[in-house]
Amino acid sequence: DKTNMFPLIQRCCFHTSFKLQKLTSPRLLLGGKNEKTWSSLSLCLRRDVCPLSRSSSLKPASVYSTQLQAFHTSPLVSKKKTPPDSEAEAQKHKESLKDAPKPALYLSLAGLVPFVAMPLAMAIQGTYYPEAAFAQVTYGAVTASFLGGMRWGFALPENSPAKPDWLNLANSTVPALLAWQALLFKDVTQGAVMLVMALGIALHYDVALLPPYPRWFKILRVWGTVVMVLSLLATGALKLILEQQRSDGRRKLQN
């Protein structure tokens, strides 16, 4: 019974103080001279009539619900968890060549051997071999065609992020067309320059333009393209240097 009486007394005191405030407020507005008297009287009546409304143990239920809600929700607001997508993206940005599968890494390094071997052999022997230079250009044309056709294999599966549209499929044929054009030149130097263009376009597609490959593969593509381009340019430079030396030697013999 006592527990039921406290809310009833609190409610009565609350309505009584509210009525007193309602009654005293117009008088305060009308009586400008007795403002202090009426205000002090209303404060005394509120304090004396309803002391229970000030008690901390008889707070309204809304106050308790607000405190409980703040208590339960504050830890959730303060703790901000990192979404899993951002963690996955951060992990991808940290990838390097060490994260590459061993077969892909070793086969790619082995595929660079014919590019490097040709100018290295000619530089060691000090002689330019047109057949070796043409073999290097032919191998470069095959490699450029392979890099372009690889986009087809990436775009055709159903779950692939790349779509088999005109951008992916048509652009992948451009390196093959340039590689074919490189084989039609009689001068090996012109064919090497055309291959440099084909390899650069294929690298631009894979790294910047089309849907991306894994980060380790893009790093592998950049370093592989740099080695191939430098090897082709080295062959063209050796041709000019060694042929110039040979022509100078012949002139000396004739004189």
Q: Which of 61, 130, 151, 114 is nearest to 227 (CA)?
A: 114
State mean pLDDT over 18-44.
48
Report the alpha-carbon distance of residue 151 to residue 155 in Å, rounded. Answer: 6
pLDDT exceeds 50 at position 31: no
pLDDT of residue 151: 87
In a domain, 34, yes or no: no
Residue 59 lies in a domain: no
143 vs 228: CA distance, rounded Å: 10
Assigned domain for 194 exists: yes
Q: How many domains does the chain have?
A: 1
Mean pLDDT of 9-22: 51
Q: Would residue 242 count as lying in a domain?
A: yes
Q: What is the pLDDT of residues 165-219, one digit of tens each?
A: 888 888 899 999 999 999 999 899 999 999 999 999 999 998 888 777 889 999 9
Mean local confidence (pLDDT), 89-106: 77
pLDDT for 13: 52
Do the beta carbons of residue 89 and residue 214 sit within 8 Å? no
* Structural domain of 117: 106-249
In a domain, 229, yes or no: yes
Q: Name the pLDDT band for 8 (thresholds 50, 70, 90).
A: low
How far is it, in rounded angstroms, from Cα 201 to Cα 147? Answer: 10
Owner of token pair 């005293």 = 24
pLDDT for the residue numbered 173: 93
pLDDT for 6 = 54
What confidence tens digit (pLDDT) does each residue in 128-137 have? 999 999 999 9
Non-local (6+) Cβ contacts of 233 within 8 A are: 192, 196
Distance (Å, whole) CA 81 – CA 182: 55
What mean pLDDT is predicted for residues 28-42?
48
Each residue of 56-96: pLDDT tens digit? 444 454 444 444 444 444 444 444 455 455 555 555 556 67
In a domain, 138, yes or no: yes
